[in-house]
Chains A and B, each alone.
Chain A
Amino acid sequence: MKAPPFAYARAGSLDDALGLLAEAGDEAKLLAGGQSLVPLLVHRVVRPTHLVDVDGLGELTGRTRDGRGLVLGALTRHAELEHAPLEGRERVLSLAAARIGHVPIRARGTLGGSVAHADPAAELPAALLSLDASIVTRSRAGERTIAAEDFFLGPFATSLEPAEAVVSVVVPGAARRGRAAFAELAVRAGDFALASVAATAVVEEGRVSEVRIVLGAIEASPVRATAAEQVLEGGALRDAAIEEAARAAASGCDPVEDASTSASYRRALVARLVRDTVRELRDGAA
């Protein structure tokens, strides 16, 4: 399998990349780590006329904290995220990154790439939703900050404009407090998840607040299990409440069905994974 022909340019800066992207027209794409785009190319699912390579751009790397919170450059590799010294609820990003593909995939794949690709089964979009994170984008028209909840529109669909790039991801500063858990089930290690759950909360004096439970690989985009969150919010994370939340998440979701996995099986996975992750939040394992 070989990719169809395309023209290639290596961008010297983000502005340069945006200029190249704009001038190359509708069928131009950005290339970063290539761990999703190159398979799509060789299967000829996509046939871009031009690729603009941003892989080496220093201005898209880095992990900083400012008034907005934790700012992660779009070129943050999954392996970096996996091993980053994150705190509190932020750690859901490390836990999620560790479940992406395999070591060689995580060495190349990028946060911005995962976000822009928007695979419904991807780990990081679900983790970002559980942090109330935002996606910062730029085009020649300027910069936008888009809440993760508004960014992911469906399978491989986002609110990105054609000549717009993901620049960074911002996690609110409050996420330095609290706990995080992430769990998924895949047929083999490294396969795409059949279901995943990202869970975050603040647990203080036996009471839980700011509960976020996000289901991945279940619907067209990662989705919050708000009914389950409401069951738990303000409570004491007793077993009965956790079981009720797990049931609420399972009955409240609308799972996709595919050749290997029925909706009812996905529902059963949601119940199990919600139970496991919320117990982890309670027990402070993460």
Chain B
Amino acid sequence: MSDVRWIAPDARVRVELVLNGEQAALEAAPRWTLADAVRAHGLTGTHLGCEDGVCGACTVLLDGDPVRACLVLALQAAGRRVETVESLGPPDALHPVQQALRDARALQCGFCTPGFALLGAWLREREPDADAHRVREVVSSNLCRCTGYQPIVDALGGS
């Protein structure tokens, strides 16, 4: 066996990547997901709901595209670009999508909000002219148990 190639199940390795615009190193074992690793790194805005790819609360941007961070192994993010909700804006300088979510009262408990915020930020940048149908299609990716979705759809331009 080429032992040097394999990262052992219990090994912790450094995963170098560009995280929220800055060079960073996450620590992770092979079985850790990207969501596990960014949370262990202190970025706890990435919320883990279902942990099996259904709810979308853990959505982050990987090389610019929204992905479920619970369905990407941390080691697969090596050398790549990751944006978490912390990249959007602090409370005194909200990203337009965060402001829109706030204005539309598009959250109640707030657990799912980071995922929707990143979906919205991605859509705003990539498809600023997205029509209501497209907004709804993109939003359908994530689950919210409080709002009934309408305020979220309103905030992201889907109504």
A interface residues with partner B (beta carbon < 8 Å): 1-10, 20, 23-24, 31, 34-35, 38-39, 41-43, 50-51, 53, 55, 79, 102-105, 107-108, 188-190
Contact = CB atoms under 8 A, between A and B. Distances in A.
Nearest to B143: A188
A102 B5 contact: no
Nearest to B64: A107
Interface of B: 1-2, 5-10, 29-31, 33, 36, 51-53, 56, 59, 62, 65-68, 70-73, 75-76, 78, 119, 137-138, 140-141
A38 B137 contact: no
A107 B70 contact: no
A168 B19 CA distance: 32
A129 B8 CA distance: 40
B71 A108 contact: yes
Chain A interface main SS type? mixed
B30 A7 contact: yes
Contact of A8 (B70, B73, B140): B73
B75 A8 contact: yes
A102 B75 CA distance: 23
A104 B66 contact: yes
A107 B75 contact: no
A51 B70 contact: no
Nearest to A34: B71
Residue from the set A7, A8, A55, A190 with the largest chain B CB neighbour count within 10 Å = A8
Residue from the set B2, B52, B53, B56 with the largest chain A CB neighbour count within 10 Å = B53
Q: Which 10 A-B pairs have the closest CB atoms?
A: A5-B9, A102-B141, A8-B30, A107-B65, A3-B31, A104-B66, A189-B140, A38-B71, A7-B6, A1-B51
Given A35-B53, A38-B53, A108 B72 contact: yes
A20 to B, nearest CB: 7
Contacts of B51: 1-2, 42
Contacts of B73: 8, 31, 34, 38, 51, 53
A97 B135 CA distance: 19
A39 B52 contact: yes
B51 to A, nearest CB: 5
Residue from the set A9, A10, A38 with the largest chain B CB neighbour count within 10 Å = A38
B131 to A, nearest CB: 15
A55 B53 contact: no
A6 B36 CA distance: 16
A255 B70 CA distance: 33
A8 B72 contact: no
B45 to A, nearest CB: 17
B31 A5 contact: yes
A259 B72 CA distance: 30
A197 B7 CA distance: 43
A43 B52 contact: yes
B76 A104 contact: no
A10 B70 contact: no
A107 B67 CA distance: 7
Given A6-B9, A24-B6, A104-B59, 20 more contacts: A4-B31, A5-B30, A8-B30, A23-B1, A34-B72, A35-B71, A38-B70, A38-B71, A39-B52, A53-B75, A53-B76, A102-B141, A103-B137, A103-B141, A104-B66, A104-B68, A107-B65, A108-B65, A108-B71, A189-B137
A57 to B, nearest CB: 12
A1 B9 CA distance: 17
A34 B71 CA distance: 6
A121 B71 CA distance: 20
Given A189-B137, A189-B140, A107 B30 contact: no
B66 A103 contact: yes
A184 to B, nearest CB: 15
A102 B30 contact: no
17 contacts: A6-B31, A7-B8, A9-B6, A23-B2, A34-B73, A35-B68, A35-B71, A38-B71, A51-B73, A53-B76, A102-B141, A104-B56, A104-B59, A105-B141, A107-B65, A108-B71, A190-B140
Contacts of A103: 66, 119, 137-138, 141
